[in-house]
Amino acid sequence: MNPTVLLLLLVLTNRSGFAQQTAEAFYLAANVQLSRGDTAGAMAACDRAIALDSTYAEARNGKGVIKYLSQDFKGAVVEFNAAVALRPDYAKAYYNRGLAKSGSGDKDGAIADFDTAIELKPYYAEAYFSRGYVLGELGYPRAEIRDYTTAITVKPKYAEAYYNRGIAEGKLGFRKDEIRDYDKALMIRPDHADAYFNRGLAKLALNHYADAIQDFNLAIDLQPESTDVYFHKGVALAKLTGNAPKPEARTKQKAKQ
């Protein structure tokens, strides 16, 4: 899963004392360093913050995010464990721990953490989205669709939720609904190459070859290096001209978070 949804929560709490204020300053510096791609510097700043204030849950969460970005999922879980131990109502840390557990293969544990995050923060669109994603990985497309729908209700311009819901609908053979959701995703994000590609695949499945080719061309404009798009465009062209090879299985790529 893409870590863009893992933005560090910049919580400016009412802290007193020079050491605590300095801990907060190191944490804020860690955010700046992380935004610049300096993960080592960000980690060092979080460590300094924790050394000055061992109860600073946000800094523990920050370390977890940095480890997650480095794909140290088990190490990230340890940090998120510490964060929620310090702040049992820390919805963001439960959510982040769910992402880390999913990355490490603990899908059931991930769902449990997303559940907790939602209990603490009922309008948490990203938590519904991520729970839906994991449910889809576990083979529950209907439950996946329900969570994406809730995420969209909470956050109406959530392009990735529309996109992933389209993919889940495609798994169930709901091609028109699938295409409709790709349309919505593209209205929000016109540069979403995968949405053009998958919409083209859905149209190809409906034998709408000319429309499929148009979508494949749009995907190629955005991602000219994608061999899958060229292949499926070739299939659509062959179908359109009546000279079709035996089509291979449809391939879809889920949007990253």
| The pLDDT value given to residue 243 | 73
What's the pLDDT score for residue 113?
Answer: 99
Q: Which residue has the higher pLDDT, 185 or 35?
A: 185
CA dist 108 and 167 (Å) reads 22
How confident is the model at residue 22, as a pLDDT? 87
The domain locations on the chain are 1-117
Sorting pLDDT into bands at 50, 70 and 90, what band is 242?
confident
If you average pLDDT over every residue of the chain, what do you get?
90
Residue 14 has pLDDT above 50, yes or no: no
List C-alpha distances in Å: 116 to 56, 84, 99, 119, 204: 21, 11, 13, 5, 41
Residue 254 pLDDT class (50, 70, 90 cuts) = low
Q: Which of 54-68, 102-116, 237-251 has the lowest mean pLDDT?
A: 237-251
Question: Which residues are CB-contacts of 200 (< 8 A; sequence separation ≥ 6)?
Answer: 211, 212, 213, 214, 215, 216, 219, 229, 232, 233, 236
Q: How confident is the model at residue 244 (pLDDT cuts 50, 70, 90)?
A: low
Select the more confidently predicted residue: 252 or 175: 175
Local structure of 257: helix, strand or coil = coil
Kindly report the pTM of this predicted structure. Answer: 0.85
| Class (C level, CATH) for 1-117 | mainly alpha
Condensed to tens digits (0 to 9), the pLDDT of residues 67-126 reads 999 999 999 999 999 999 999 999 999 999 999 999 999 999 999 999 999 999 999 999
Q: Average the pLDDT over 160-180 and give the result.
A: 98
Instruction: Give the integer Cα–Cα distance in Å for 99 and 177.
Output: 28
To the nearest 10 degrees (0 to 180), the angle between helices 193-205 and 209-222 is: 160
